[in-house]
Amino acid sequence: MRQAVIRAAGVSGRFRPRALVAAAGCALLAGAVAVVLIGSGDFQMSPAEVVRTLLGNGDPAQDFIVNKLRLPRVGTALAVGAGLGLAGALFQSLTRNPLGSPDILGFSQGSAAGALVMIVLVGGGSAAVAAGSVAGALLAGLAIHALAGRHGAHGQRLVLFGIGVAAILTGVNGYLLTQAKILEAARAMVWLTGSLDGRDWGDSAPLLIALAVLVPLVVAGFGRPLRMLEMGDESALALGVPVTATRVLMLGSAVLLTALTAAAAGPVSFIALTAPQLARRLTRTTGPNLTASLCMGAALMVAADWLAQHAVSGRQLPVGVVTGLLGGGYLVWLLVRERKSGRI
């Protein structure tokens, strides 16, 4: 793999140009789709107008539509996508499994259970639902970690425990859904699928704060330890990586990101699974690919939201429907491929 090194003032950094280009490309793509998304709707705007307005030079009407109505939603989409992409990359790296994602490991089901309890049993508003989903995901994470127990939360065991917990929670969620009145059930169903309708900065503020703290910490601080960890616990330990601390911290970060994205937009499926995979194919490097996954997640999310708004004319689908359908197809393809190369 071609690498480049920067040396300046006694500090040197090693990086892979291709990975950097891929990440930058994804970020650009995410930005471009976001601009198109802001420009589309009942009041059409050209990308140039959108950019001008975003920079503060639009007329008052455009300013209102862009900055007050559409930017919060698109911003939430970008944040959720980035959070899911990063969380997915962390999960897949920690479980050493391309299918290790919050959808399959039970965290999404946990946050869904928490939210359903709030919607159906408590009848709380959106803040309560968000809090419930965070609590649910964290509890599911704790339960899976406790179950995986003394042998540590790694590899296939973690995945199998996750599958078991996910199955139990799916049953509980189904029960909660039958206990609801039909209007509550419909609301719960939209939430369960993942939707960006009517989201504003208030919904995504906790996620944005978490991203601001966790992204530098994870990407800069733990990119290397994670890559070492993928070689196996013993090798990583021999190379000076604090194995247990790294794993617990990174697992905690991933669960927290998953929980907060679910609180912002519901458990949007498959972004966390596909973003790291696609990023890996672009960068052509092993390892967690944290930055590229993050940018890819954001790009996928805004693209899915654009599709959700335009796929069926005259009505908007929740974004989770699009990610679910596309992601499901991609997943089957991935399974076949990974099986052929003997990786799962």
Binding site for other proteins (CB under 8 A): 97, 99, 103-104, 147, 149, 151, 155-157, 159-161, 163-168, 170-172, 174-175, 177-179, 182, 185-186, 189-190, 192-193, 269-270, 317-318, 320-321, 324-325, 327-329, 331-332, 335-336, 339, 344
CA distance 124 to 191: 13
Q: Which is nearer to other proteins, 4 or 163 (CB)?
A: 163
* Nearer to other proteins (CB atom), residue 2 or residue 181: 181
> Is the separation of the CB atoms in 265 and 319 below 8 Å?
yes
Task: Tell the smallest beta-carbon distance from residue 258 to other proteins (Å).
Answer: 14
CA separation, residue 249 to residues 49, 171, 226 (Å): 43, 30, 11
SS3 14: strand
The 10 Å CB-count burial string (b at 16+, else e) for 282-320 is bbebebbbbbbbbbbbbbbbbbbbbbbbeeeeeeebbbb
CB of 326 to other proteins, least distance (A): 10
Shortest distance in whole angstroms from residue 69 CB to other proteins: 24
Which of 114/162 has CB closer to other proteins?
Answer: 162
Question: Which CB atom, from 164 or from 216, has the smaller least distance to other proteins?
Answer: 164
Q: Which amino acid is at 73?
A: R
- Please identify, using beta-carbon distances, which residue of 2 and 315 lies nearer to other proteins: 315
How far apart are CB 316 and other proteins at their closest, in Å?
Answer: 11
For residue 164, the minimal CB distance to other proteins (Å) is: 4
Which pair of structure tokens corresponds to residue 145?
A: 């970690």
- Complex with other proteins: residue 41 or 174, whichever CB lies closer: 174
How far is residue 327's CA from residue 83's CA, in Å, rounded to a whole number? 17
Can you read off the two tokens belonging to residue 212?
């601001």
16 in the Ramachandran plot: left (φ > 0), alpha (ψ -120 to 50) or beta?
beta
Residue 288 CB, shortest distance to other proteins, in Å, is: 20
Which pair of tokens denotes residue 261?
């994205």
Could you tell me if 214 and 257 are in contact, meaning their C-beta atoms sit under 8 angstroms apart?
Answer: yes
User: Cβ of residue 335: shortest distance to other proteins, in angstroms?
Assistant: 5
